[in-house]
Amino acid sequence: MAVVTGGASGIGLGIAEAIVDRGGRVVISDIRQDALPAALDHLNGRAEGARAAGIVADVSNAAEVETLTAFTLETFGRVDLVCNNAGLVSPAAPTWEQDLATWDRMIRVKIMGVIHGVRAFAPHLVAQGSGHILNTASSAGLAPLADRSPYTTTMHAVVGLTETLDVELKRLSSQLGATVLCPGLVDTPLGANSAALGAIAAPAGPPVDMRALRPDILSPRQVAEAAINAVEAGRVHVAPGGDVLERARSRVDELLRDIASVAP
Ligand SMILES: NC(=O)c1ccc[n+]([C@@H]2O[C@H](COP(=O)([O-])OP(=O)(O)OC[C@H]3O[C@@H](n4cnc5c(N)ncnc54)[C@H](O)[C@@H]3O)[C@@H](O)[C@H]2O)c1
């Protein structure tokens, strides 16, 4: 039994689909009410019986995430996997030119959204003695991404939060844990949805065919499969995508070189 925030589209919908295809049940939540019915039809069309339910919830609002928790427990009786996935992208500009409204929005949705999910659901997992929290960050949480500072900052925060959370959960039981998902580029409508939610300007011109531009782009389902495999294996990090390993390696190498150069 799982819950996925930002589950009406993209990676969240891919995770929900993978859960339903494995015979599981899922609650999806999203801030875009109009996107939920099609996502639920898609999920419930894949198996016998209603395996998916949905509710509107803004992850930046703690009370709405508490309502999501109550809805999840009322609908399916328990929760085993909590996917804090909802997110937006920020406009492209150097750090000093990013406006305060962007910083505020990214912190409220991406950092506070994950914190609200952990605060609302973790006590239930701890009480039942088992369960897993899967937080979606990005490859931008493992290495710098120029001109997306509000995005990289909040994604790094989600990596740090999840690593800490995993230690705290595993200290209680080996049946508890947390995983952070840090994919490279994924073929989702993140830009269009972020524009619809007022986070970035609507892109000018016809939609870009990302598959033609970047043949190595991942599908949401590929990302979902990698994430679920990592959860099942109890791994703390999962970072699918062509260049992610190299980008993470070069950051860690540089970090260790810098630290070692002043070590006593
Ligand atoms: N697409 C990529 O290339 C990529 C790569 C790495 C990480 N990510 C991250 O994956 C996550 C999912 O993004 P996606 O690419 O699937 O995009 P998406 O737009 O398809 O899905 C994100 C969903 O989150 C919802 N959402 C936004 N703000 C919300 C809020 N305050 N409360 C509840 N729901 C909200 C949106 O309505 C949307 O349905 C994001 O956190 C994103 O940063 C995406």
pLDDT reading at 263 higher than 70:
no
User: For the segment 150-203, what is each residue's pLDDT rounded down to a tens digit?
Assistant: 999 999 999 999 999 999 999 999 999 999 999 999 999 999 999 999 999 987
Tell me: pLDDT of 139 over 70: yes
Give the orientation angle of helix 62-76 with respect to helix 113-128, to 10 degrees: 40
pLDDT of residue 175: 98
CA-closest residue to ligand 1 atom 41 = 87
Asked if residue 168 lies in contact with residue 116, where contact means CB atoms within 8 angstroms, the answer is: no
Tell me how far apart the alpha carbons of residues 192 and 155 are, in angstroms, rounded to a whole number.
Answer: 20
Q: Which pLDDT tens digit goes with each residue over 73-130?
A: 999 999 999 999 999 999 999 999 999 999 999 999 999 999 999 999 999 999 999 9
* Test site for ligand 1: of 9, 59, 243, most ligand atoms within 8 A of the Cβ: 9
| Distance of CA 21 from the midpoint of ligand 1 (Å) | 21
Q: How far apart are CA 132 and CA 98, in angstroms?
A: 34
What separation in Å is there between the alpha carbon of 124 and the centre of ligand 1? 25
Q: Is the CA virtual torsion 142, 193, 240, 245 positive or negative?
A: negative
CATH number for the domain formed by residue range(s) 2-261? 3.40.50.720
- pLDDT of residue 262 exceeding 90, the answer is no
Which residue out of 151, 184, 194, 241 is catalytically annotated?
A: 151
Residue 20's pLDDT band (cuts 50, 70, 90): very high
Q: According to the model, what pLDDT value does residue 217 have?
A: 95
Q: What angle do CA 143, 8, 211 make, to 5 degrees?
A: 55
Q: In what order do the strands lie in the sheet with 131-136?
A: 52-56, 26-30, 2-5, 81-84, 131-136, 176-181, 237-238
Domain segments of the chain: what residues? 2-261
User: Which of 28, 142, 181, 188 for a ligand 1 pocket mutation test, highest count of atoms within 8 Å of Cβ?
Assistant: 188
Which residues contact ligand 1 via a Cβ below 6 A? 5-6, 8-12, 30-32, 35, 58-60, 85-88, 109, 113, 136, 138, 183, 185-186, 188-190, 193, 197
Cβ distance 116 to 65 under 8 Å?
A: yes
For the ranges 8-12, 32-36, 198-202, which has the lowest average pLDDT?
198-202
Assess whether 44 carries a catalytic annotation. no
Phi and psi of 153, rounded to 5°?
-60, -45
How many helices (H) and strands (E) the chain has is answered by 10, 7
- Cα-to-centroid distance, 88 and ligand 1 (Å): 5
pLDDT at res. 264: 65
Beta carbons within 10 angstroms of residue 19's beta carbon: 26
**pLDDT at residue 10 above 70?**
yes
